[in-house]
Amino acid sequence: MTTLAPDDHRHGTTNGYSNWKCKCPLCRRAWADYVAVRARERRREAMGNYNSSVHGQLRTYNKGCLCGRCQEAFEQRQQDIKAVRTRVSDRHECHQVAPVGMSKSDREGFICNDCLDKFQAWLRSLL
């Protein structure tokens, strides 16, 4: 819904899109161009401000660096997260914390405090 008059000089500007909520093709194009330029600047800034010793880290990737080493760090982190999720779903069943009288299917997912401590320590080691 356009809130600007059709002959308003703010059409085709980021101001028209973001402040006046105009979604006409001209304003949408101006906003898309702005976002693309800003993303390129962030990537360039991220790659230029870091020396080679910090490339290959997740934080550098999150800042916008798309070099091969930073992308590999991101992919490794994704694999680690997937492994954690798999291990959580495959963990053994502990009956120490399950209320008495629960059926076996209802106890699924409960773990004892010892196992929880081990699991949390393992998660911290990934960070």
pLDDT (tens digit, 9 = 90+) per residue, 7-17? 888 888 998 88
pLDDT band at 34 (very low <50, low <70, confident <90, very high): very high
pLDDT (tens digit, 9 = 90+) per residue, 64-74? 788 888 889 89
Is residue 123 one of the residues assigned to a domain?
yes
Report the pLDDT averaged over residues 78-82: 81
Q: Is the pLDDT of residue 48 over 60?
A: yes
Domain that holds residue 104: 91-127
Report the pLDDT averaged over residues 53-59: 80
DSSP the chain: ---S-TT-TTTTSHHHHHTS---SHHHHHHHHHHHHHHHHHHHHHHHHHS-TTTTTSHHHHHTT--SHHHHHHHHHHHHHHHHHHHHHHHPPP--SSSPTT--HHHHTT---HHHHHHHHHHHHHH-
Is residue 23 one of the residues assigned to a domain?
no
pLDDT band at 31 (very low <50, low <70, confident <90, very high): very high
Report the pLDDT averaged over residues 28-52: 81
Average pLDDT over all residues of the chain: 75
Is residue 126 one of the residues assigned to a domain?
yes
Is residue 86 one of the residues assigned to a domain?
no
pTM: 0.41
Is residue 102 one of the residues assigned to a domain?
yes
Question: What's the domain count of the chain?
Answer: 1
Is residue 101 one of the residues assigned to a domain?
yes
Is residue 122 one of the residues assigned to a domain?
yes
Is residue 27 one of the residues assigned to a domain?
no
